[in-house]
Structure 1
Amino acid sequence: MSQEFPDRLVHTINCKQGAVRAVRFNGDGIYCLTCGSDKSVRLWNPHRNIALKTYSGHGYEVLDAQASCDNSQICSGGMDKTVVLFDVASGKTLRKYRGHAGTVNCVQFNEESTVVLSGSIDSSVRCWDVRSKNMEPIQVMDEAKDSVTTIQVSDHEILTGSADGSIRRYDLRNGKIITDFIGKAVTSANFTRDGQCILTSTLDSSIKLMDKDTGEMLNEYKGHKNTDYKIDNCLNCKDTQILSGSEDGYVYIWDLIETKVISRLKHENQRVIHSLSYHPTEISLLTAAGDKMYVWKSKSTVDEDTSGQ
């Protein structure tokens, strides 16, 4: 059976936010967030090309955002060194955390969305309790020797990647830190959906699939260009394909096992494709380049959407 991938461009959306710094599906994939160089976060229904709300509270470019598990809150971080918590329905700023000494590159909720974790150019990860009125971090992890570029959170682990060339895994059950030196600066790190492996992108145009427990490299994926920018990687919803942005204007899709490029998604103007997000259950992908968001689906997903309307 031939593999399906999101190779059909369904929508090209001008987000009207200046440069789109990140695009993120929410937990169930119905909505998404875009982060803009105009200091805003926007909420969309990307499947219908509808902008739903704009959130303002940052003083400078917004670089990352995530929706909480019940979709009632949004956390975001940016170049103004702050982490902002928004109420989705009202659009109001609920909290503004100011503990970082530099740009906040990445933000994540924990699994229950009770804590926001933020990674910064100041080499630290800070944890903020969103239920309390306390504006100080409840924990600071400062083991990185350079900028923290990426954070992922599972039920009992925190995964960080840093420009110091290492990924760090914090096991919350036993308080251990496991550090794996990858080599070049790490720009993106993700758990596979089964939690067994870690996918890391580095500034030598390489993506590595690592066994989480042993640190052994299982596979390596090449062909894209990534030497200068922070570029996202991700897996599809079934853990069978690897996807990455690239500095040559394409999104690359590899077969997880065979490591060969099975598709390239061309974007207009050959701009750097730095951010992408895969739908949690469907063959659907969001990508960002310049001031636009692109919505990609497979033929079968497009057919389902049109028959369901």
Structure 2
Amino acid sequence: MDEYDNNTPSHGKDNFPRKILSQLRGSNGPVHAVTYSASPGTYILTGSADRSIRLYNPIPSSTTTNASSTQASSFITKPSQSPLTASPPAGRLIQTYTSHGYEVLSLTVSSSNATFASSGGDRAVFLWDVSTAQTIRRFSNAGHTTGRINNVIFAGVDDSLLISGGHDTTVRIWDVRSQSSAKPVQVLGEAKDGVTSLVFDSQGTGAEVLAGSVDGRVRTYDVRMGRLVTDVFPGAVTSLCLTRDGKTVLVGSLDSKIRLMDRSNGQCLRTYGGVEKGSGDVGAAAGGWTNKEIRVQSVLGGGERWVVAGDENGAENSNGEGRVWAWDLLTGRLVAKLGVPWGPGGGKVVVGRDGKEKERKNVVSCVAWKDSGFGNQFCVGGTSGVVTVYGEA
């Protein structure tokens, strides 16, 4: 399959979004977190290594669209053209949020869109007011004791809880409504290594927390019944994504595999990624999907029709572009492998410890899918510091 599959003229009727709609610029470092606002999913929040959070409208203004339409069109339709000479139009920056003292690693938006929460290297969870750009609360006292907080999610009725997981191997549950943030409601400390990913299941018992960890475990806590179920994986767990009915969960791990797991019996229903060229698999692609060293996110998209993931390797060309992969959820067939451009200016050359120049890869580590509103759309971010938004042609 062509490296720039977004440029292939015919894709049948899968409707997978391959067209680059815009790029969200302004970050002064790698982007570690991206998420859409709640329904109708009009806006995108990004969290960066520059300690800032930015709110964007991904649809370019009319003047930007008109000025960039020729460049954007040529970028999409000519796979031989270098992205260094054709930049997609820029999305609109709405607001910048600055209270973090360290890199931002995770973002979660409330269902009302009035608040969002963030976490990172601060060892604290920040609760924000969207309109005023001010922090409402900081959950830090008696909180995570060492290292960074890798993930934070809203949970409970009316988003009454925040759940955080971090490098200190604990999962902590915080009551948003409480006037005191001195202590978490509950601390779950069974992990033997850092907690990388969290999801909350409100379908079954209505109170199950799933936590993925570097120790290669996914732990399911039924906090009402006081029950713990542990599933073991061959590599550190880097990503979790729960289906809407809560019956299956998508698990990414550092063995370059993404697995769809049946939560009732722990059975692996389908495996995605890790395919080498010439293997005979219908999803075979040069180099295969790679996740061996860093946290790379994978999500469900298109009404749970596709599995979409970033890639810690750059694209297979000379300019160090990034790439994003998509598979059919039911068959495991590779649907798309898209090149992710650097953005204006192209990739930066860095100097290694040996004093020699080395080309930096555009590692795509975070992905978010627009789950509401009109049309299929998703966005990706990573080391380039630019978030690229894809939609239907």
TM-score range relative to shorter protein: over 0.9
Percent of aligned pairs with the same amino acid: 35
For 2:224 and 2:170, the matched residues in 1 are separated by 21
Could you tell me how far 1:15 is from its partner in structure 2? 2.9
For 1:35 and 1:216, the matched residues in 2 are separated by 34
Could you tell me how far 1:259 is from its partner in structure 2? 0.8
Could you tell me how far 1:175 is from its partner in structure 2? 2.7
For 1:152 and 1:202, the matched residues in 2 are separated by 15
Could you tell me how far 1:206 is from its partner in structure 2? 0.5
Could you tell me how far 1:194 is from its partner in structure 2? 2.8
Q: Give the aligned partner of residue 159 of structure 2.
A: 113
Could you tell me how far 1:18 is from its partner in structure 2? 2.0
Q: Give the aligned partner of residue 4 of structure 1.
A: 15
For 2:28 and 2:129, the matched residues in 1 are separated by 20
For 2:28 and 2:187, the matched residues in 1 are separated by 32
Which of 296, 314, 332 is residue 259 of structure 1 equivalent to? 332
| Aligned ranges 1:41-120 → 2 under 5 Å | 41-48=53-60, 49-98=91-140, 99-101=143-145, 102-111=147-156, 112-120=158-166
For 1:199 and 1:168, the matched residues in 2 are separated by 14
Q: Give the aligned partner of residue 26 of structure 1.
A: 37
Could you tell me how far 1:173 is from its partner in structure 2? 4.2
Q: Give the aligned partner of residue 317 of structure 2.
A: none
Q: Give the aligned partner of residue 285 of structure 2.
A: none
Which of 273, 281, 284 is residue 377 of structure 2 equivalent to? 284
Which of 197, 206, 212 is residue 161 of structure 1 equivalent to? 212
- Cα distance change on mapping 1:153 and 1:17 into 2, 3 Å: farther
| Structure 1, gaps ≥5 residues long | 300-309
Counterpart amino acid of 1:147? Answer: G
CA RMSD in angstroms comes to 1.4
For 1:149 and 1:2, the matched residues in 2 are separated by 36
Q: Give the aligned partner of residue 305 of structure 1.
A: none
For 1:55 and 1:192, the matched residues in 2 are separated by 31
Q: Give the aligned partner of residue 66 of structure 2.
A: none
For 1:14 and 1:93, the matched residues in 2 are separated by 23
Counterpart amino acid of 1:209? Answer: L
For 2:134 and 2:184, the matched residues in 1 are separated by 21
Task: Output one character per residue of 1:31-78: Cα deviation in whole Å (capped at 9) or x when no partner.
Answer: 121001111111121234221111111111111111111011111001
Counterpart amino acid of 2:257? Answer: S
**Structure 1 runs of 4+ with >4 Å offset:** none
8 Å CA contact retained: 2:311, 2:364: yes
Could you tell me how far 1:82 is from its partner in structure 2? 1.2
| Structure 2, gaps ≥5 residues long | 1-11, 61-90, 274-287, 314-321, 342-346, 348-360
Counterpart amino acid of 2:379? Answer: L
Counterpart amino acid of 1:210? Answer: M
For 1:25 and 1:178, the matched residues in 2 are separated by 31
2:249 counterpart SS class: strand
2:302 counterpart SS class: coil
TM-score, normalized by length of structure 1?
0.93
Task: Output one character per residue of 1:184-219: Cα deviation in whole Å (capped at 9) or x when no partner.
Answer: 100001112232211000001100110011100011
For 2:293 and 2:172, the matched residues in 1 are separated by 26
Counterpart amino acid of 1:35? Answer: G
8 Å CA contact retained: 2:23, 2:389: yes
- Cα distance change on mapping 1:235 and 1:175 into 2, 3 Å: same
8 Å CA contact retained: 2:52, 2:97: yes
Q: Give the aligned partner of residue 306 of structure 1.
A: none
Counterpart amino acid of 2:388? Answer: Y
TM-score, normalized by length of structure 2?
0.74
Which one has a larger percent strand, Structure 1 or Structure 2?
1
For 1:264 and 1:207, the matched residues in 2 are separated by 16
Could you tell me how far 1:13 is from its partner in structure 2? 2.0
Asked if 1:272 is matched to 2:363, the reply is yes
8 Å CA contact retained: 1:58, 1:82: no
8 Å CA contact retained: 2:57, 2:92: yes
For 1:46 and 1:173, the matched residues in 2 are separated by 40
For 1:92 and 1:238, the matched residues in 2 are separated by 34
For 1:6 and 1:17, the matched residues in 2 are separated by 28
Counterpart amino acid of 2:34? Answer: V
| Aligned ranges 1:189-208 → 2 under 5 Å | 189-208=240-259
Q: Give the aligned partner of residue 150 of structure 1.
A: 197
Could you tell me how far 1:12 is from its partner in structure 2? 1.7
Asked if 1:229 is matched to 2:300, the reply is no
For 2:107 and 2:58, the matched residues in 1 are separated by 16
For 2:260 and 2:269, the matched residues in 1 are separated by 5
8 Å CA contact retained: 2:24, 2:56: no
Counterpart amino acid of 1:286? Answer: C
